[in-house]
Chain A
Amino acid sequence: MSATTPFQFPPTYNFPPFFTPQPNSNTRLSQLEKWSSLIQAWCRHNRQYRLSLIDAIDTPLFHNATLRKRLDLAGARDVVEWMTKSEEEGGGGRRAEWLDASAGGNGAPKSIAYIWWRRPEEWADVIADWVENTGQRGAVLTVYELVQGEATVSQDFHGMDTDVMMKTLNILVKRGKIQIFGNEGEEGVKFF
């Protein structure tokens, strides 16, 4: 589901100091929160589950062409790093998660991150509700059907990143809501 309507940037996006790391801790906190919500909104709008900083650094997300201002790679990494931390650690409530260097593919650590505009636990709730509402308890679905099937087109999790879906399903397994079976790549899910 690609963006059909242009992304609506928040007003601070056009505020030049927004792109400069603020030394004042209060201001900095406020700035990070705003960046975090901007990144989440951007990813939600684009149905993006993982963000490659190196690729995104030239997108309008981090580069304001009208202001000729940009958040550089280090600045963006600081923001995402902050997002990965929990609020108790002074972070942004684990709204992001770094991919392992191996999983990231290009080797560099902390270059790709999941952006949790919905955290896996929240996704699990969404899926469980969907199953409940559509009366599919006891039904068996493949993961492919969940992500790409015609039945889920209207749902938010349609077209979800497979890795994210697997994380979500694993949470549901722990909750005892589903059972996963089958080989890797061809998993089936049974809802209870």
Chain B
Amino acid sequence: MFFKSLDLTTALRPLLLPDETLLFVQDAVGLYEGKYKIPNYQNGHAYLTSHRVCYVATEEPRKYCVGIDLKEIDRAEYQARFLKSSPKITIHPKPQNGKTDKSRSATSSPAIPQQSTLHPAARSPLPQTGISPSPSPQPINATWICPICTFSNPVPSNFDPATATAATNLPPCLACGIKPPFTTVLKAAISAATSREPATSSAVHIGAEENNTSGSERTDTTTRGSVCCPRCTFVNHPSLIECEICGAPLMPKGTASQIGSDVSRADSPAPFFQQTRSTNTEVSESIKLSFRDGGEKTFHERLKDALVQRKWLLQNAPPVPAPAQATASAGILPATAALESPQPAAPRVSAVGIAGLEQRGLEARMNNQLVIGNAFEDLEALMASAKQIVALAETLARESGMTSTNEGSAETNAVLSESAAALGMVTTKDMLSSGSENLYLSELSRNLAEYLTDDRQGILQREGGIMSLIDLWAVFNRSRNGVELVSPSDFERAAELWEKLKLPVRLRRFKSGLLVVQRYDWSDDKTVRQLQDWMEELRQLPPEDSVPWDWSMFGRAVTAQETAHRFKWSVGVATEELEMAEDRGVLCREEGIEGLRFWANYIVNPSDSVQ
């Protein structure tokens, strides 16, 4: 298990992977490695996502932030508060030599009988590096070893490692009748697929202790890459990480120098992990998260759920073919899984003409029914299938012509369609433990900052870099699709936190009390300079119709509307900015029958241009 470096967003939250969703956030969390506190990691936010556990320190967050992939986590233990000790969650890494290793070698060993010849010279010392699913869809002759009774079962012929999910129906073990863990079958299928590649590069595993069949093969290995057991001096096959005779941990030659003198890690060598990134620090022991401010129960619960759901497995998978399958993949509705046919690739009965259309309509309706039914079954499920529901709602809205009735809704639609993505990352009160109002506000504040600075949406750019808080509130809530709306007071308080949290946006109050949102680096000076440049420009351009004053000296007057148009501000913002410039003596006003107009200030400096 490794501490991986994190990419932080502008709002100093972990940058989520495309499919990753934020599950829980808790502040005032400290980090332990084994029994000891890690310095500088004692006060920060713990983020639980569907793929990772991330830690971001409050002080110097860019320097002190780490993440741990959930896939490397074996289990998480909850440790309640005891006297002065805060409640903790202990995260145990997946042991590389324990039962995982057994299952790994067990899963790959059945492939050996097909590999009649051994090529030790060409053997890769890192057999698992090619773990990415092979494009070949049908791994034939693959077998998986039942972890209960060690019987070799054939992988079902319709099992496709590229598309299979945890919810795919797996046949039970032929001998003992226990359903296998999904990963066992997946690994077996993948390793079978990779071993069907050119035989020279085939991964070779010596069967583990429980597999007596490979005993003779072991002796075939040349001593070139062998590893001598430090305890009993038995010369072991280099792929082994434990001595076959005495069980002592082995140090493979190739990795011995990389590991260096760190003896404590001898029991988790996992050689191929060493190559991932040199900057990463390895965690040999468990990690503890210490919750000084509560929230540990929810965190633990959701961490367990995430470990069960294994969303990261979907990362490389192509989009799920049937919506029902995706819902079921969340592992929530076993009923759906049962409904679903075990052979998703079953050829569809093709029909033509009206019958075909009707059939397709029927299918679509049934599909929709299933999605809606699943979604509303309980709220957890709704969260899981929110994306589909949003997509469905959009389709329905388009079909019923709802969108054509409200004019000027192009923007709304754009926001709505983007909201599916946005929904995944919004901070909701649900995500945080109740009672931690401050945390909710600060997370909402970060969320808002991210939303504003997100280049994909370009909210601030579109508004000319400045936007009134009320407009933002409306757009933001609209992007939440009417779910988990933010109250105005929460919103304002979250916006007021920007400055404190050092986020890249800031809240500004104009003289009139109008609150606006702008980039942190945007200042009045910049606005004034823009206005001055504009005024200078107007002085150079002859006006369209003749004017009674000396335009080459005084230029031309501008109204708030013109200013708003030019800088893409809203009129209210433009008025405020003009008055701000007037307040600084850069502009002066002219009230007339045409309304209020602003001029460069030649009253103060009649001879030269404005300073």
Contact = CB atoms under 8 A, between A and B. Distances in A.
Tell whether A and B belong to one assembly.
Answer: yes
Interface of A: 10-12, 14-20, 22-24, 26-27, 30-31, 34, 66-69
A15 B549 contact: yes
A23 B578 CA distance: 13
Given A20-B591, A24-B583, A27-B601, 4 more contacts: A16-B549, A16-B554, A16-B557, A20-B592
B25 to A, nearest CB: 47
A10 B550 CA distance: 12
A24 B601 CA distance: 11
Interface string B582-593: 110100111110
Nearest to B581: A24
A71 to B, nearest CB: 12
B604 interface: yes
B606 A17 contact: no
A22 B588 contact: yes
14 contacts: A10-B606, A12-B602, A12-B606, A14-B554, A15-B602, A15-B606, A16-B590, A24-B588, A26-B585, A27-B604, A31-B603, A67-B548, A68-B548, A69-B592
A22 B232 CA distance: 97
Contacts of B601: 27
B548 A66 contact: yes
B553 interface: yes
Contact of A12 (B583, B592, B603): B603
B549 A67 contact: yes
B599 interface: yes
A178 B433 CA distance: 96
Interface in B31-82: none
A179 to B, nearest CB: 48
Interface residues of B, number: 21
A59 B380 CA distance: 81
A16 B592 contact: yes
A19 B557 CA distance: 14
Given A66-B548, A67-B548, A67-B549, A20 B602 contact: no
A16 B553 CA distance: 12
B581 to A, nearest CB: 10
Interface in B565-611: 582-583, 585, 588-592, 597, 599, 601-604, 606
A16 B588 CA distance: 10
A27 B606 CA distance: 12
Contacts of A68: 548
B392 to A, nearest CB: 56
A18 B603 CA distance: 7
B414 to A, nearest CB: 40
A22 B603 CA distance: 10
B603 A34 contact: yes
Contacts of B589: 17, 20, 22-23
Contacts of B606: 10-12, 15, 34
B12 to A, nearest CB: 40
A12 B553 CA distance: 10
B582 A24 contact: yes
Given A20-B591, A23-B582, A24-B588, A15 B548 contact: no
Nearest to B604: A30
Quick one: which of B550, B585, B588, B604 has the most chain A CB within 10 A? B588
Contacts of B591: 20
Nearest to A18: B603
A95 B312 CA distance: 84
Quick one: which of A30, A34, A68 has the most chain B CB within 10 A? A30
Nearest to A11: B606
Quick one: which of B549, B597, B606 has the most chain A CB within 10 A? B549
A77 B16 CA distance: 67
Given A16-B590, A17-B588, A27 B550 contact: no
Interface of B: 548-550, 553-554, 557, 582-583, 585, 588-592, 597, 599, 601-604, 606
A14 B603 contact: no
A26 B584 CA distance: 9
B590 A27 contact: no
Nearest to B584: A24
A11 B553 contact: yes
Contact of A17 (B548, B553, B585, B590): B590
Contact of A27 (B549, B553, B557, B585): B585
A124 to B, nearest CB: 33
Contact of A11 (B550, B588, B592, B604): B550
Given A24-B582, A27-B585, A67-B549, A15 B603 contact: yes
Contacts of B592: 16, 20, 69
Contacts of A24: 582-583, 585, 588
A22 B596 CA distance: 12
Closest 4 CB pairs of A and B: A17-B590, A66-B548, A17-B588, A30-B604
A38 to B, nearest CB: 12
A68 B557 CA distance: 15
A110 B601 CA distance: 31
A23 B604 CA distance: 13
A43 B557 CA distance: 31
Nearest to B602: A15
Nearest to A21: B591
A14 B554 CA distance: 9
Contacts of A30: 603-604
B608 to A, nearest CB: 12
B599 A16 contact: yes
A14 B604 contact: no
A154 to B, nearest CB: 34
Nearest to A69: B592
Contacts of B582: 23-24, 27
Contact of B603 (A17, A23, A66): A17
A56 to B, nearest CB: 21
Contacts of A10: 606
Contacts of A20: 588-592
Quick one: which of B548, B591, B601, B603 has the most chain A CB within 10 A? B603
Contacts of B588: 17, 20, 22, 24, 27
Nearest to B548: A66
Given A20-B590, A20-B591, A14 B549 contact: yes
B611 to A, nearest CB: 12
B554 A15 contact: yes
A33 to B, nearest CB: 9
B597 to A, nearest CB: 8
Contacts of A17: 557, 588-590, 599, 602-603
A68 B606 CA distance: 21
Nearest to B549: A14
Contacts of A16: 549, 554, 557, 590, 592, 597, 599
A19 B553 CA distance: 17
Contacts of B557: 16-17
Contact of A15 (B583, B585, B597, B599): B599
A72 B590 CA distance: 14
A17 B556 CA distance: 11
A15 B598 CA distance: 12
B599 A14 contact: no
